[in-house]
Homo-oligomer: A and B are copies of this chain.
Amino acid sequence: MTKKVTIKEIARLANASVSTVSRVINDSGYVSIEKRQKIEAAIKSTGYHPSQIARTLSSSHTQTIAVMLPDITNPYFINLIEQISIHSGAEGYQVILMNTDTAGAHKHGDPVTIETNAFANVLERQVDGLIVLGGEIDQVHVNPEYMSALNSLNDQLPVVVISQKDEQCNCLFVERHIDTGMKMIVQHLLSLGYRHIGFLGGQQGIKIADQRISSFKKLMHLYANTSDEDILANNFYIEDGYTGIEPLLQQADLDAVIAMNDQVAIGAMRRLREIGKSVPQDIAIGSADMFAGGEYTTPAITTVNQHDTSLGQIAVKQLLHLINNEPVESLEPRLPELVMRESCGEHQRFTTKDSLS
């Protein structure tokens, strides 16, 4: 391990003072051509890199934002992370990922405690801002300790949350157009003639699920009958589609099912094939939230593109505004779009171009 070379060393080598070196590093203030060249030469020859740490201590910003999320294997989050990392990278910010693992398969310990500890960590690392992608904040009834921890965090640094707004929370929220999206898929199914439509996936007590389900019910009441038996809310993952579809069909006589998202749809379709039902002939499967890859399944999934990718971009923009004390313009995510493929019948021209974006 080579020992570290510091600004002092460079100054010595280039026969200058540390402030002058600092000036050339940061391109600030006047420095004579010759001195600048000598300094640059010294930097190059030693392979010197200024220490972000020291820089932060003295100037107190890190050019880093933290992203907190409860499950990194979830495609919804991956999508967001990708966009966040791209857009913040473009603005010169690094991303530090805090995967609390409070929702995935590897859960351990109390979610509230874990996430609250993560807040503390965020503070200690002096990141310039935080984007929260989900976790406890997604609950309809957010734990009060968590909420006060989050609010007090928001007091100390800019926080943007990508989730449905919570009135108790003072942070800036970026919300999706849930009702509009649900309307699209419901109306599509109705227009195709389906009347006994069910809903599968999500979890009661989670905002996004409750909102989708209530939206679903409301819409259905306008056109047809529904009862609670038409709905099964178990969870958000593939296996939930797989394990949930049969029970759902047993408790209700359906000709179509809307899945919480493409993952749930995939699981359901797989199980249906195993029990000898074909999609969409015997039963149509639609999805309310498009993920990457749904155009390659058999049948390809008819789904709603919520344009989640725009969320990441918006969140970064807003956060940077907050960080720079600029006024935050209110930015709306793109409106959802129906993506017609095969799983609801009425095979529209299939194209692999219907990808996320």
Interface residues in chain A, defined as those with a beta carbon under 8 Å from any beta carbon in chain B: 1-2, 4, 47, 49-54, 56-57, 62, 64, 72-73, 78-79, 81-82, 85-86, 89, 94-99, 101, 104, 106, 120-121, 123-126, 152, 155-157, 238-239, 242, 266-267, 269-270, 273-274, 292-293, 296-298, 300, 350, 352
Contacts and interface: CB of A to CB of B under 8 A. Distances in A.
Given A72-B78, A273-B298, 6 more contacts: A49-B124, A72-B82, A82-B104, A82-B106, A238-B296, A267-B296
A24 to B, nearest CB: 16
The interface centre, meaning the residue of A96, A104, A300, A350 with most chain B CB atoms within 10 A of its CB, is A96
A115 to B, nearest CB: 13
Given A1-B156, A56-B53, A96 B94 contact: yes
Contact of A155 (B1, B124, B155): B1
A53 B55 CA distance: 10
Contacts of A239: 352
A72 B81 CA distance: 8
Contacts of A266: 293, 296
A104 B83 CA distance: 12
A274 B342 CA distance: 12
Contacts of A238: 293, 296
Contacts of A47: 152
Contacts of A1: 155-157
Contact of A49 (B53, B62, B120, B350): B120
